[in-house]
Structure 1
Amino acid sequence: MKHSLTISTALVAGLLAVSPALAWQAVAPAQIAPVADTVTPANADPAYRGLLDDAAKGLIAALDASAKAPLTQENVDKAKQGAPYADTDWLKASGYEIPVKEYQDADIKVLSSFTVLPRWQLARSEMTVTEINHGAAPAQQDHALYDADGISYLFFLPEALGPKLGHAFLTAYEKGEIGKAAALIKMSEVSTSAAKSYFNYPRPFLIDQNTIRLVPDNAVTRTGAPYTATAGAFPSGHTNTGYTDALLLAEMLPERFTALVDRAAGYGYSRVVLGVHYPLDVIGSRMVVERNVSALLNDPAYQKLFSEAREELRTALEKECGTTIAQCAAVGTTAADPWAAAPMREFYNFTMTYDLQQSGEAGVAMDVPEGAEVLLATLFPHRSAEERREILKQTAIDSGYPLDSTDPASGFWQRIDLHEASLAK
């Protein structure tokens, strides 16, 4: 079954009027916006702003070298991470290939509950993207544009590493010292194109009577043209990229695991800020990335490459830091290191559901997906697989939220909360 529903503003109002279940005040998005501001250029802390500015300069330089001038949206979209950033020769020589079709089929199955969502839930998702899009400050919009236009590179990740480790990562990345990790991380992104085609759901700015405000790109392309996107909305391809990259780096740098999974959530949030994706698109991509990364890390052939890339990364970062990873990764002040700050817990929790209410059965026992415990393997190396599964079970959110499924073969991914799991003692 495919979704091709067009939801008008009038229909949303009608649904709210007739359904007692929708007695809902959309306050959560407005409440979370100030937290989102802390990781954008609105944060005036010199150390954090310096890291953001250096990453932005690095991205522009990479795009200038890769994309054809001028930096139009079309040219930026065609840019690819190559030398010196990624060691693609090493990856090619390994002969490793992801079974893409198998993964994409599994992803569609994981997301299958989308086809049975009630119409009022889809309408509320539309309302939420509109509210976040309208409420986004200019600094949030600029941050979202850098996320969008930097999809082919890893320049969005250093800000989640703290000023010292973040700058070390930038330096090593631009020198080509972490080329194996850079190549492996980008190769690990399993395209959402098959799922987009299968579910065939229109983007927020294309539905009837929408009020989405497309954001002029004066941050990267500087053309002033509204940022837009093509293909279907569900699931989000950019979130798939951002979450894959951030989660794999978290597996390589468990010292910054929590901040990096928060950065993954922030990358998805950027898509909602720009008005090109619904919250459901972002949630769906989080689910399939966790499934895909789990499958990869449970593959011995991939694990061999991962271990080699991780070792190179950590060696290079220690060299650039001039100290241990643990010392270099130490959490700084709230302003200088906002992705590791306490308010990010509230932010991540918000992005688990985007304040969309339960439409399925609450209180269903959590059944941790087979193999998911590997996601905590480098974070808790001395815990057994069963102990890690128990952590995922005990920190999971309740059942019944949109996209949750209790199918043992494909369900329960919606409920995994990696932020809370990372805090387990």
Structure 2
Amino acid sequence: MTTFSMHARRTLLGAALLFAGLAHADGTTPHYLDDSQLRAAQIVLAPPSPPGSPEDLADRAITERIYAEARGRNDAALAKHEETFDVFAFAQVLGPNFDAKHLPHTAALFTEVQKETAKAVKEAKDYYQRARPCPLDACSTDPEGDAKSAKKKSFGYPSGHSSRAAVFAALLGKLLPQKTDALAMYAHDVGWRRVVRGAHTPQDIYAGRVFGQALARDFLANPNLQHDLDEAAAELKAAGIAE
């Protein structure tokens, strides 16, 4: 695993901020955040607990208990449904009019945000390489019947669902400030259900929240995204979602 000193990572962050919004050498510009900015956001994350440490074992024990207790309940079914999760899951908060088919500008904005967030999360996961939990030997026995799910394919820290939900909630909160608290609560619930699902530990989802908030801050500083947010705001208002 490639390692970076804290000094090197801070230098990387400074460089990303200095060149934010500038064109690439080939004359193209990133839509929202370029690769260096996505990578630099990792500076907000502390390393996860060392494998096998008392803290690590306690963190995994929580997932073992929650997974065992929640199986067969409604939140477990919802957690399975959320394996594929995008911004329009927030219709749970915003109502049925919050729908991709009727909100093309909003859908385009968040499709790009989701793509860039996924790239940042993958880099962070590959950097820390924290193994996912396998409650009740779930990774081998596959009691949920979904052996192709993401929990079999990638590292655990930070949680991608939790990161993505935090980004979505922050950007939607800018569009719909009256819904800020409800959006944040739903994002927290999405993250927690990854523990219910047995795909992450609490440490993974808390890291995802921090990472997502950092990415959201960087997204909101981008003028391209601000322009697209304005278009999305007008669209939401026309759909009767924004007050």
Q: Which amino acid aligns with 1:197?
A: D
Asked whether the equivalents of residues 249 and 260 of structure 1 are also in contact (C-alpha less than 8 Å), the reply is yes
**203, 206, 209: which one aligns with 1:283:** 206
Aligned length: 209
Q: Counterpart of 2:92?
A: 159
Partners of 1:105 and 1:178 in 2: CA distance: 30
The equivalences for 1:3-402 within 5 A come to 97-114=31-48, 119-138=53-72, 139-149=74-84, 151=85, 153-161=86-94, 166-170=95-99, 173=100, 176-189=101-114, 190-191=117-118, 192-205=121-134, 211-213=136-138, 224-225=145-146, 227=149, 228-317=151-240, 325-326=242-243
Unaligned runs of 5+ in 2: 4-28
Report the 3-state secondary structure (helix = DSSP H, G, I; strand = E; otherwise coil) of the residue aligned with 1:204. coil
Q: Residues 15-68 of structure 1, C-alpha deviation per residue, up to 9 Å, x if partnerless?
A: xxxxxxxxxxxxxxxxxxxxxxxxxxxxxxxxxxxxxxxxxxxxxxxxxxxxxx
Distance 1:195 1:311, change over 3 A: same
Distance 1:97 1:155, change over 3 A: closer
Asked whether the equivalents of residues 106 and 232 of structure 2 are also in contact (C-alpha less than 8 Å), the reply is yes
Partners of 1:103 and 1:134 in 2: CA distance: 39
Distance 1:295 1:305, change over 3 A: same
**TM-score, structure 1 length as denominator?**
0.45
Partners of 1:111 and 1:117 in 2: CA distance: 17
Q: Counterpart of 1:329?
A: none
Distance 1:291 1:118, change over 3 A: farther
Report the 3-state secondary structure (helix = DSSP H, G, I; strand = E; otherwise coil) of the residue aligned with 2:98. helix
Max Rg structure: 1
Q: Counterpart of 1:12?
A: none
Asked whether the equivalents of residues 160 and 260 of structure 1 are also in contact (C-alpha less than 8 Å), the reply is yes
Report the 3-state secondary structure (helix = DSSP H, G, I; strand = E; otherwise coil) of the residue aligned with 1:277. coil
Alpha-carbon distance, 1:233 to partner: 0.8
Percentage of pairs with the same residue: 24
Distance 1:235 1:2, change over 3 A: farther
Partners of 1:114 and 1:154 in 2: CA distance: 27
Partners of 1:262 and 1:100 in 2: CA distance: 29
Q: Which amino acid aligns with 1:112?
A: A
Asked whether the equivalents of residues 104 and 195 of structure 1 are also in contact (C-alpha less than 8 Å), the reply is no
Alpha-carbon distance, 1:121 to partner: 1.6
Partners of 2:129 and 2:34 in 1: CA distance: 20
Distance 1:2 1:284, change over 3 A: farther
**TM-score, structure 2 length as denominator?**
0.75
Distance 1:277 1:2, change over 3 A: farther
Partners of 2:50 and 2:57 in 1: CA distance: 14
Asked whether the equivalents of residues 144 and 274 of structure 1 are also in contact (C-alpha less than 8 Å), the reply is yes
Distance 1:212 1:257, change over 3 A: farther
Q: Which amino acid aligns with 1:107?
A: A
Report the 3-state secondary structure (helix = DSSP H, G, I; strand = E; otherwise coil) of the residue aligned with 1:188. helix
Distance 1:105 1:115, change over 3 A: farther
Q: Which amino acid aligns with 1:159?
A: Q
Asked whether the equivalents of residues 38 and 215 of structure 2 are also in contact (C-alpha less than 8 Å), the reply is no
Asked whether the equivalents of residues 181 and 309 of structure 1 are also in contact (C-alpha less than 8 Å), the reply is yes
Q: Residues 84-128 of structure 1, C-alpha deviation per residue, up to 9 Å, x if partnerless?
A: xxxxxxxxxxx7523342233223221134367992221111111
**Structure that is richer in helix per residue:** 2
Structure possessing the higher relative contact order (Cα contacts under 8 Å, 6 or more residues apart): 2
Q: Show structure 1 runs of 4+ deviating over 4 A.
A: 115-118, 212-217
